[in-house]
Amino acid sequence: MARNKFDVDETLESPFQLKHLKRALRYISRHRVKMLTALLLSSLSSISALLIPKITQWVLDVAVPAKDTAMLGKMALLFVGIILLGIVFTVIRSRIMAYVSQEIIYDIRKDLFAHLQRLPFSYYDSRPAGKILVRVINYVNSVSDILSNGIINSILEIITLVFIVVFMYSTDPTLATIVIAGLPLFVAVILYIKPRQRKAWQNQSNKNSNYNAYLAESIDGVRVSQFFTRQEVNLSIMARLAEACRTAWMRAIYISNTVWLSSETITQLVFTVMYIAGVYWLGGAIVSFGVILAMGQYVSRFWQPITNLANIYNSFVNNLAYLERIFETMDEPVVVDDKPGAQTLPAIDGRVDFDDVTFGYEEGVTVLEHVNLHVRAGESIALVGPTGAGKSTVVNLLCRFYNLNGGRITLYGEADGQAYDITDVTLNSLRNQLGIMLQDSFIFSGTLLDNIRYGRLDATEDEIREAARLVRADDFIREMPQGYQTAVSERGNRLSQGQKQLVAFARTLLSDPRILILDEATSSIDTQTEKLLQEGIQALLKNRTSFIIAHRLSTIQNCDRILYIGNKGILEAGSHEELMAKRGAYYELYTSQARDQGLVET
Ligand code: ADP
């Protein structure tokens, strides 16, 4: 089966870069007091736990032989005290760190989301949404954990290790040396296996990301899939991605088990050697029974911090790659952005000039070449032509969703008549004066009222109803169970296409844009509803400059000027009558449509 964009793994292997770490540390620096407190509490509880083997030793070697019940009582109290202290400190530490890691997640996500919202369309054109989601959700979670708990734990493990060594040597230097002699073997095993383990987990994370991306897109497009009865094909793609996930997971688990098994084997080996030596010396009364027991406990604790440190290091290296992906997203250039010192576009009069505009989405493929167009204030312009000719591109450029490759687009101030190149003004002030209606109107989860208010947040309820009335949306909304308060889910699944479009019309009317763009806005509405809508559209168009892209030519005959887009530019321009009289491309298109609809004799 052909590979698709979901099969493309991200590069998760990256050389250590100090700049990423430094940048990440900025997210934790404001939590340093909390983190230091957590570290202090954890260290206290770890070090006091190391006293337990010592207590065992005293009990066995001193208190029991002397039958000193008072001392035994004291030791028991100390024992219980240490355990209780450990529990209390651990609970406090977890609470502090849960808070800190959530704050870090919040801060990174906030920065990421703020940037994602500014990224141009071209960024989203080339990426599955699921992969972006994985970065914002999974990578951030993972990175936050290593930045908070990972840092504390690595310091804590080092402290614990030092104290274990000190306690071991203070208990019995010879046995301690035997234990430490096992260390090189352990380190060698770790150095050999750990890089393989890391790679395996990175691979697993990649496969998981691919799987998530496919899942996200499939849920989004479930209606289309069902319509085209793609379930079987989709299932097999899903099965293939899931299989890749499973294989990667099994491999990662297998290697992790090997690490665990080898560390256990070495621990047991060292244990055995130490016990044999201990028991041998016990016979010669060189070491006591208490000492052997205490040493046994230290040995079992000794390997834990080392294994933990190796794990933290691994996870740290993985997370550096995640960090890099996160920062890469944050650094993704906002190629469509306000110029430094961009001015606010004042209220415009509705004139639009395209001068020598050239543009292509991808390098080497131009969609529009040297286009010139001068639109009067209040003029209604229809864009027609074959699919893929560049009609939507014309309006995308006017809204500055993409930057031009050449030429300029100019708007004019209402009060001063001054010309403003759209790249010299802020995006907000530009887009605030443009109203865009797309073929597929996006309905947000919330009430119908909220959805219309999206166009202008300070609109009163009366204004909202008035807007809905004008575009003929009021009737159906009032028939809904809770009227304007009816909740609609994301994408407006409860509404028909036509109803969604009516809501979007009301939303646009409310925002009162100077220039209105209707991109195939009525194509999903049946002819009956469209007739009803025409009145609403007329209300919407009144006193506004408009660009209307319509598939059905019957709907744009009344426009002031019709532009036939083709051959990377404007092939024909004029009123319906003029273009019909010309008997050119528009005439051909119109008559073929009319013929299809049985309106003219063939
Ligand atoms: P129309 O609206 O006339 O159907 P468009 O303006 O949407 O056509 O598209 C014009 C051309 O640009 C088409 O060849 C289309 O494939 C291409 N195109 C449109 N959008 C993109 C995009 N986001 N990335 C790359 N190419 C695109």
Nearest residue by C-alpha to atom 18 in ligand 1: 361
Mean pLDDT of 382-397: 92
Is the CB of 475 within 6 Å of ligand 1?
no
Flag whether pLDDT at 8 surpasses 70. Answer: no
- Interval 471-489: pLDDT, tens: 888 888 899 888 889 888 7
Q: Which residue has the higher pLDDT, 536 or 148?
A: 148
Q: Are strands 406-413 and 446-447 parallel, antiparallel or unpaired?
A: unpaired
Q: How far apart are CA 252 and CA 340, in angstroms?
A: 49
Using CA atoms, how far residue 45 sits from 7, 42, 298, 310, 419, in Å, is 47, 5, 16, 22, 71
Q: DSSP letters along 298-358, please?
A: HHHHHHHHHHHHHHHHHHHHHHHHHHHHHHHHHHS--SS-PPTTPBPP--EEEEEEEEEEE
Stretch 334-358: mean pLDDT, rounded? 92
Residue 355 and residue 407 in contact, taking contact as beta carbons nearer than 8 Å: yes
Average of pLDDT values for 265-271? 85
384 lines ligand 1 (CB under 6 A): no
Say if residue 22's pLDDT is above 90. no
Q: Which of 68-72, 127-131, 169-173, 389-393 is predicted least confidently?
A: 127-131
Q: Indicate whether residue 561 lines ligand 1 (CB < 6 A).
A: no
For 573-584, write each residue's pLDDT tens digit: 999 999 999 999
Pocket test for ligand 1, best of 127, 335, 383, 393 (most atoms within 8 A of CB): 393
Interval 182-201: pLDDT, tens: 888 888 888 888 788 888 88
**What is the CB neighbour count within 10 angstroms for residue 457?**
9
Whether the per-residue pLDDT at 56 is higher than 90: the answer is: no
Q: 390 C-alpha vs ligand 1 centroid, how far in Å? A: 6
389 lines ligand 1 (CB under 6 A): yes
Q: In 3D, which of 271, 276, 277 has the Cα closest to residue 298? A: 271
Residues 6 or more apart from 320 whose CB is under 8 A from it? 14, 16, 17, 20, 21
pLDDT at 158 over 80: yes
DSSP 505-520: HHHHHHH--SEEEEES
Q: Is 386 in the pocket of ligand 1 (CB under 6 A)?
A: no
Whether the CB of 396 sits within 6 Å of ligand 1: no
Amino acid 465: pLDDT: 92
Distance of CA 416 to the CA centre of its chain: 43
Ligand 1: residue whose CA is nearest its atom 25: 361
Q: How far apart are CA 28 and CA 154, in angstroms?
A: 15
- Binned at pLDDT 50, 70 and 90, residue 602 comes out as very low
Taking alpha carbons only, the member of 451, 455, 464, 334 closest to residue 403 is 334
**In Å, how far from its chain's centre is CA 31?**
24
- The minimum-distance atom of ligand 1 relative to the CA of 121 is 23
Q: What mean pLDDT comes out for the span 396-402? A: 93
Report residue 597's pLDDT band, with 50, 70 and 90 as the boundaries: low
Q: C-alpha distances in angstroms, 337 versus 31, 120, 346, 514?
A: 33, 8, 18, 22
pLDDT higher than 70, residue 492:
no
Closest ligand 1 atom to Cα of 385: 3
pLDDT single digits (tens) 512-563? 899 999 887 666 666 666 666 676 677 778 889 999 998 778 778 889 999 9
pLDDT at 2 (0 to 100) = 44
CA 411 to chain centre: 35
Say yes or no to pLDDT of 84 above 90.
yes
Going by C-alpha positions, the residue among 11, 118, 21, 17 that lies closest to residue 332 is: 118
Question: What percent of the chain clears pLDDT 70, i.e. is strictly above it?
Answer: 92
What's the rounded mean pLDDT across residues 414-426? 93
Indicate the pLDDT class of residue 1, thresholds 50, 70 and 90: very low
Q: What is the mean pLDDT of residues 199-213?
A: 85
Q: Is 361 in the pocket of ligand 1 (CB under 6 A)?
A: yes
- What is the rounded average pLDDT of the residues 584-597? 85
* pLDDT for the residue 564: 95
* Alpha-carbon 532 to chain mean position: 41
Q: Residues 18-24: contacts with CB within 8 Å, 24+ apart?
A: 20/320, 20/323, 20/324, 20/327, 21/320, 21/323, 23/323, 23/327, 24/143, 24/147, 24/323
Is the entire prediction scored with pTM above 0.75?
A: no
3-state helix, strand, coil in the chain (%, to 5): 65, 10, 25
pLDDT reported for residue 130? 77
When pLDDT is averaged across residues 137-143 and rounded to a whole number, the result is 88
As a whole number, mean pLDDT of residues 129-138 equals 82
Long-range contacts of 402-405 (CB under 8 A, 24+ apart): 402/120, 402/121, 402/122, 402/336, 402/359, 402/361, 403/335, 403/336, 404/357, 404/358, 404/359, 405/358, 405/359, 405/360, 405/366
The atom number, within ligand 1, closest to the CA of 122 reads: 23
Average pLDDT over residues 446-457: 87
pLDDT at 394 over 90: yes
- Sheet architecture: strand order including 380-384: 434-437, 515-519, 545-549, 380-384, 561-566, 569-574
Give the distance (Å) from ligand 1 centre to CA of residue 122: 12
Least confident of 13-27, 267-281, 453-467: 13-27
pLDDT for 540 equals 77
Residue among 307, 311, 294, 315 at smallest CA distance from 266: 307
Q: How far, in whole angstroms, is CA 57 from its chain's centroid?
A: 55
Closest ligand 1 atom, residue 383 Cα:
3
Q: Residue 314: which pLDDT band, with cuts at 50, 70 and 90?
A: confident
